[in-house]
Amino acid sequence: MACVGTGVIGAGWVAHFLARGLDVAAWDPAPDFAARLHRLVDAAWPALDRLGLAPGASIDRLTVCPTLVEAVTDADFVQESAPEVLGLKLELLAELGGATSPDVVVASSTSGFAMTEMQRACATPGRLVVGHPFNPPYLIPLVEVVGGEQTLPWAVEWAAQFYTATGKRVLSMDHEVPGFVANRLQEAVWREALHMVAAGDATVEQIDLAMTEGPGPRWAFMGPCLTFHLAGGEGGMAHMLDHFGPSLAAPWTRLSAPELTPALRQQMVAGTAAEAGDRTFAELIVERDHNLTAVLRALAAVRRGALDADGAGGSESTEGGAGT
């Protein structure tokens, strides 16, 4: 592995790959990057240790390189995590294209640019993909993988398989979406929160409480679509849309709602059915309740750990809470 750029995201990738038992070569143009990188990896390691390290995983498998070329020359995969500056990305990806073998996939951690924009200056754009993580990359499983207009299908497939092999949950996209998928969902909630604070509808504390004690625990294991599928009772998503669909026109949100056309309705019903697979409604309820109970117990352990840390409790309880 080569990690180019070792800020918060880049260092998080370094920690993740090290924890999966890989050799990692890292480079960053900042003169003090080596010390900073070691501090960030050291800080992440206890949590990774509690989650479970792969055989052979060690911080000692990190090599800090003085030049970009030295970092990537022998790499089987490159993760670029440079700042979100388009000109810089263009230049860096072009340089990586010249410094690596043409069959090595180069992935960008970008959260704001499409690969189509960034690959224009590279002589071998077919093996450039986006590998967009959620912060911190060493703990949050999601990585969104998508190519640009010049990316070849094999590169997207290879990157997706590689990330999966390192323990990531991969959202492999067949075309570019501005802002990516998870960011857009998160941004919708964030914008609505800002609107409510600005309008005096809710305080910051009330908004955070509403999320952590409401949708949050369910969304830890079951997204909004499958959650609403169960909200429709045994009629599932079809009943939910038919029953609650008119409420989309209600002024509950500052964000405009899409028209619930027959085509959109069918997409939602069919998509939810595909996600549910061969699990019956009753089986989904059991699965949801089992997982929700596990999440609530884990959250309770975290809170007990925080209370013990503030009071007379021991470090064992605090560590257990942090690792849950």
- pLDDT at 146 > cutoff 50: yes
Range of the domain at 278: 188-323
What pLDDT was estimated at residue 243?
86
Q: Identify the pLDDT of residue 308.
A: 65
Question: Is residue 180 included in any domain, yes or no?
Answer: no
Looking at the structure, do residues 129 and 218 belong to the same domain, yes or no? no
Mean pLDDT within 108-114:
95
Give me the percent of the chain exceeding a pLDDT of 70.
94
Mean pLDDT over residues 61-88, rounded?
Answer: 97
Same domain, 199 and 167: no
Q: What is the number of domains present in the chain?
A: 2
pLDDT reported for residue 248: 75
The CATH number linked to 309 is 1.10.1040
Q: What's the CATH number where 128 sits?
A: 3.40.50.720
SS3 letters across the chain: CEEECCCHHHHHHHHHHHHCCCCEEEECCCCCHHHHHHHHHHHHHHHHHHHCCCCCCCHHHEEECCCHHHHHCCCCEEEECCCCCHHHHHHHHHHHHHHCCCCCEEEECCCCCCHHHHCCCCCCHHHEEEEEECCCCCCCCEEEEEECCCCCHHHHHHHHHHHHHCCCEEEECCCCCCCCHHHHHHHHHHHHHHHHHHHCCCCHHHHHHHHHCCHHHHHCCCCHHHHHHHHCHHHHHHHHHHHHHHHHHCCCCCCCCCCCCHHHHHHHHHHHHHHHCCCCHHHHHHHHHHHHHHHHHHHHHHHHHHHHHHCCCCHHHHHHHHHC
